[in-house]
Chain A
Amino acid sequence: MIGHVAQHELRRQFRDGRIRTLLIVVTLMLIASLVLSLRDYQLASNQYQKNLSQARKNWESQSTKDPHDAAHDGTYVIKPLYPLAMIDKGIKQFSGQVVHLGAHERKQSTLNEAKDHSGLFRFGELTPSFILTYVIPLLLIFLGYNAFTEEKEKQTIRLLLVQGALLSQLALGKWLALFLQMIGLWCLLFVAAAISSYSVGSEISADVSQWMALGGIYLFYFIIFINLIIWISAKASSSGMSLTVLLTLWIIITLIIPKASTNLAGWSYPFPTLQTFRDNINEDQTNGLNGHNFWNEAAQDFQQKVLDEYGVESIEDLPVAYGGLLLAEGEKYESEIYTKHFDLLQSQYEKQRSIYRWCGLLSPMLPVRFLSMAIARTDYGFLWHFEDEAEKYRVEFNTALNMNIAENAKGVNRYEAGRELWASIPEFDYKWQPPQEILRDHTLEFASVLLWAILSFLLTVFFTRNIQIV
């Protein structure tokens, strides 16, 4: 019975010219977005390789200079792009592309791509995630808003019920018809994207399970919409009413709640201003080591510690250049302060995230988008992870340069090092956060999506059983 209903429903829709047009248009949009994203990804990964090796070349080809001066000049690390970012660019455009690594200071990522665009850029780009989060749910609404209301308006529902069909069977049949149409588009996108990403053959690759995870999230998202559509269509008194209610829901879920939750998160747990953030760091640093200040209490303590360690009386008796040791130790100390304050910032963000999670109970788009960005490595979590790793590397990088001073500058007036030293500094090797870790961090989001899917399905099944026929 359910199969028959679904078959009938599909036939009804494919005979409707406007439905065919809509399906074709959305399919074309999907293909276009995929092709563009693939090109973007190819371009970005080429540029990544090219610019990364150029940055290294610049580092290695520095002239001879004081290693600490070289540290001040510093180098760049560039954020890599995960293949799944093809589907969801997430915050990539807003979060900066590179981190400058220098002496004494941890910096945020810079080169925010969005700033290179006019304000109209904020309308969005033609990306698969845009089509997945906004367009396909809308298409599903157009396909299914009159699933029940039309039967009611034409009174065919009476005939169907007289023929012995159960309302729940009708609902499931209509559900199945929508599901089948959706799954077609879904397969097209994810299979094509996965295959093309492998064919590009970049050095980074995501395994099939991650593609499936990303696809699965959106599958749940669409199922939630299908459930709501069937339910509203069964409840609504007319097709016009059904469409109006569904469109209003769509606006609330995809536009209003995400924006409102962002504002709510910002009001509840605001980030400090840049000035306050810096002032706090400076305050912590004033009394600590900074490598250039030999005179404060912390520097005196450190000096005593070093002297004790080497069992000598004065700096002059040390076998190494004390300045280098102080710089290295200062760098570690400063980095700890930076880490403390960036961790505070991150914990503030974690609090904001709890707001997003609560709002996720009002809009499934939020948990879906957070999961999608996380799996695509284009979320805030990736940004933190990358910047934290870069900071660890920055300390290593500075330590290597400063220890070189300690080892070689003893008794040398204006010590300078050359290209061998620059080349001996190890390169930054970013390791992606393993998918298990990401999923663990997003258990609640996943639970929220699941909850939405199950509850909305039960809603459909239970509440279509007692709808008004006349």
Chain B
Amino acid sequence: MKENRTVIRLELIQLFRNKAFLGLILILLVLMTLATWNTDQYFQVKRAEVKTQLQLVEENDKRLAAEIDSLNGGLASYETSYTLPSSGVRLTYNNHRVTWLPFSSFSLIAIGQGDLYSNYKKIVLYFNSSYERDSEELVSPLEQLFGQLDLAFVWVYLLPLIILLTSFNVLSLERETGRLTLIASQPIRIWHWVLLKISIRFLTILVLIISFLFLLLLVFEVDVLGNLLVFVQLLVTLFMYTAFWFFLSFLINLAGFSSGKSLIILTSTWVIFVFLLPSVVNQLAKELNTIPSRLEIINHHQAMYNEMESSQDVEMERLYQRHPDWRSDDPVTSDLSNSTGWNIDYLAKQYIAQIKHRSVADNYENQVESRNAWVEVFRVTSPAMIIQSALTDMAGTSGRYYRSFLKQSQEYAHGYRHYVFKGLFTNHSFTANEIRQLPVFTFDYQRVPGTFKQDFLIMLAYLMVLLILCFVLSKKSQKIN
């Protein structure tokens, strides 16, 4: 027992006297710090953006409600229906809604798809869009191409390389220097000893990363205790991924290649898992799940719009049959020279075109979803993909979150549209209370089910396979000279 402690102590001493090891660890920790700082800055901007948007809505609503109050109190009068605060036109054009995707406490670990999407969406009722789930941002596409420096990148891409560089020659170096003969003359099994050396490196790196991460989370004021479950999941994820690369390195060590060969094999494996397999999966997803061009969908919408315009009366009648509560005898509603009448006509046309277009649009979205689901399934081919997707899920910045957010926003927009249109189409005078109680959006997390259990099991399977291979190779006698 005491001897084991001595061996471990001296291994650690050697590790921390090794300049290359210290250099790599330093690079890792510096990159982790930079990544966290960058992500923090990034999300501060995004948070401020959402806050501004929500404030704008609140102020607008307050102002409108106050105007209605003063109108009803006879304190103000308005010349045109366009500016009348209680009119549906005013509500439609001046008081947009904002839906927003809440930020996870652990958003600090991955920007994920956050550089592609805003965390808020302006819901307006007048925009003639064929692509309701779109969101608009102002980002340099170069930023999106090269991607952001975040912890997920450091862990998924760089950590494995650092692991491989610090462990690829644990055995081969001993053989190449000739020291192995001395080791092998001791009453121990070589593979036990290699396992010990690898495990010491594994635990050292893991403990360093985790304690440093904990420190970073404290410095950047992340509520770790309040989100203990996510934190534990994060630790397990890191453990599994780090273990995967160390076991791989152990396996290649046992296989008995020379140092150079081992490093080439390990680096190639890294390229395969981090670059090649993901790109092949993406490519296959495109080939096997062919989806028509988004451009066709736009053109279809335009064609539907033209079609609707050429038979507008029939289409309007159909609309009222579908929404009898939108029908009104008020002459204002059919007077095109009145702003209410004109807008009812204008908005109805857009709405009808959208309804006519919807099946095609939804079908397209569904095809996109099923292709992405296909990719999600085949993420199992590479631990890098599993971990990337797990980390972005924990950070609440995965594509699944943003796409669900846009879908939920679209649904909210429909509900909201129906609510406002009912009032607008019947020339209803909105009250201040109605303005204060407009339907509110909340993001439904249940619709983005977690994948931690699956990720855990798949990673476990990877580790088991490696373990079995290691076991088989450990039976093979080791070349000593």
Q: Do chains A and B touch in the complex (CB under 8 A)?
A: yes
Q: A111-B294, A120-B375 are in contact. Are A271 and B138 (CB under 8 A)?
A: yes
CB distance from A367 to the nearest CB of B (A): 14
Contact with B along A394-421 (1 / 0, CB 8 A): 0000000000000000000000000000
Bound form: Cα–Cα A154–B165 in Å: 24
B313 CB contacts on chain A under 8 angstroms:
none
Bound form: Cα–Cα A47–B298 in Å: 13
Q: Contact at A271–B282, with CB atoms within 8 Å?
A: no
B112 CB contacts on chain A under 8 angstroms:
119
Q: Contact at A62–B263, with CB atoms within 8 Å?
A: no
Contact with A along B126-166 (1 / 0, CB 8 A): 00100100111111111111111100010001100100010
Q: A61-B306, A275-B49 are in contact. Are A380 and B140 (CB under 8 A)?
A: yes
Bound form: Cα–Cα A22–B269 in Å: 12
Contact of B259 among A95, A118, A240, A263 (CB under 8 A): A240
Whether B411 is near chain A, meaning CB under 8 Å from some CB there, is no
Whether B173 is near chain A, meaning CB under 8 Å from some CB there, is yes
Q: Contact at A255–B157, with CB atoms within 8 Å?
A: yes
Contact of B310 among A63, A72, A112, A113 (CB under 8 A): A63
A90 CB contacts on chain B under 8 angstroms:
145
Bound form: Cα–Cα A450–B131 in Å: 46
Q: Considering only CB atoms, which chain B residue lies closest to A29 in the complex?
A: B276
Q: Contact at B267–A63, with CB atoms within 8 Å?
A: no
Please choose the segment from B245-253, B381-389, B436-444 that sits at the chain A interface, where 4 or more of its residues have CB less than 8 A away: B381-389
CB distance from B399 to the nearest CB of A (A): 4
Q: Contact at A73–B128, with CB atoms within 8 Å?
A: yes
Bound form: Cα–Cα A28–B169 in Å: 30
Whether A110 is near chain B, meaning CB under 8 Å from some CB there, is yes
Bound form: Cα–Cα A130–B276 in Å: 10
Whether A352 is near chain B, meaning CB under 8 Å from some CB there, is yes
Q: Considering only CB atoms, which chain A residue lies closest to B137 in the complex?
A: A274
B389 CB contacts on chain A under 8 angstroms:
118-120
Bound form: Cα–Cα A58–B268 in Å: 51
Q: Contact at B372–A118, with CB atoms within 8 Å?
A: yes
Bound form: Cα–Cα A350–B147 in Å: 19
Bound form: Cα–Cα A229–B81 in Å: 76
Whether A190 is near chain B, meaning CB under 8 Å from some CB there, is no
A145 CB contacts on chain B under 8 angstroms:
260
CB distance from B229 to the nearest CB of A (A): 22
Q: Contact at B165–A98, with CB atoms within 8 Å?
A: no
Q: Which of B89-144 contact A (CB under 8 A)?
A: 112-113, 116-118, 128, 131, 134-144
Bound form: Cα–Cα A135–B146 in Å: 17
Q: Contact at A251–B399, with CB atoms within 8 Å?
A: no
Whether B305 is near chain A, meaning CB under 8 Å from some CB there, is yes
CB distance from B4 to the nearest CB of A (A): 28
Q: Contact at B296–A51, with CB atoms within 8 Å?
A: yes
Q: Contact at B138–A114, with CB atoms within 8 Å?
A: no
Bound form: Cα–Cα A323–B196 in Å: 85
Q: Residue among B20, B135, B169, B263 with the most chain A CB within 10 A?
A: B263
CB distance from A151 to the nearest CB of B (A): 14
Q: Contact at B259–A108, with CB atoms within 8 Å?
A: no
Tell me the dominant secondary structure on chain A's binding face. Answer: helix
CB distance from A18 to the nearest CB of B (A): 7
CB distance from B226 to the nearest CB of A (A): 26
Bound form: Cα–Cα A9–B291 in Å: 49
Q: Residue among A111, A238, A352 with the most chain B CB within 10 A?
A: A111
Q: Contact at B296–A120, with CB atoms within 8 Å?
A: no
Q: Residue among B131, B261, B271, B399 with the most chain A CB within 10 A?
A: B399
Whether A122 is near chain B, meaning CB under 8 Å from some CB there, is yes
Q: A111-B294, A123-B274 are in contact. Are A248 and B165 (CB under 8 A)?
A: yes
B260 CB contacts on chain A under 8 angstroms:
145-146, 239-240, 243
Q: Which of A445-470 contact B (CB under 8 A)?
A: none
Contact of B295 among A22, A78, A121, A265 (CB under 8 A): A78
CB distance from B249 to the nearest CB of A (A): 14
Whether B83 is near chain A, meaning CB under 8 Å from some CB there, is no
Whether B478 is near chain A, meaning CB under 8 Å from some CB there, is no
Whether A54 is near chain B, meaning CB under 8 Å from some CB there, is yes
A244 CB contacts on chain B under 8 angstroms:
20, 165, 263
Q: Considering only CB atoms, which chain A residue lies closest to B393 in the complex?
A: A119
Q: Contact at B259–A275, with CB atoms within 8 Å?
A: no
Q: Considering only CB atoms, which chain A residue lies closest to B310 in the complex?
A: A63
Bound form: Cα–Cα A93–B282 in Å: 13
Q: Which of A259-293 contact B (CB under 8 A)?
A: 259-263, 265-267, 270-275, 277
Q: Contact at A97–B295, with CB atoms within 8 Å?
A: yes
Whether B278 is near chain A, meaning CB under 8 Å from some CB there, is yes
B181 CB contacts on chain A under 8 angstroms:
none
Q: Contact at B263–A119, with CB atoms within 8 Å?
A: no
Q: Contact at B147–A122, with CB atoms within 8 Å?
A: yes
Q: Contact at B261–A18, with CB atoms within 8 Å?
A: yes
Q: Which of A131-148 contact B (CB under 8 A)?
A: 134-135, 138, 142, 145-146
B49 CB contacts on chain A under 8 angstroms:
273-275
Q: Contact at A94–B116, with CB atoms within 8 Å?
A: yes
Q: Contact at B279–A125, with CB atoms within 8 Å?
A: yes
Query: What are 11 A-B contacts with C-beta separation under 8 Å?
Result: A55-B295, A55-B298, A91-B144, A91-B145, A111-B131, A116-B368, A120-B388, A121-B399, A122-B147, A123-B274, A263-B38
Q: Which 6 A-B pairs have the closest CB atoms?
A: A123-B278, A91-B141, A51-B295, A119-B399, A58-B302, A94-B141
Known A259-B146, A270-B45; 20 more pairs at CB < 8 Å: A22-B268, A50-B296, A73-B305, A91-B145, A94-B141, A97-B294, A110-B131, A110-B136, A114-B116, A121-B282, A123-B279, A125-B279, A146-B260, A244-B20, A247-B267, A248-B165, A258-B146, A263-B149, A265-B143, A345-B138
Q: Which residues of A contact B (CB under 8 A)?
A: 18, 22, 29, 36, 47, 50-51, 54-55, 58-59, 61-63, 65, 72-73, 75-76, 78, 90-91, 93-95, 97-98, 108, 110-126, 130, 134-135, 138, 142, 145-146, 238-240, 243-244, 247-248, 251, 255-256, 258-263, 265-267, 270-275, 277, 345, 349, 352, 356, 380, 383
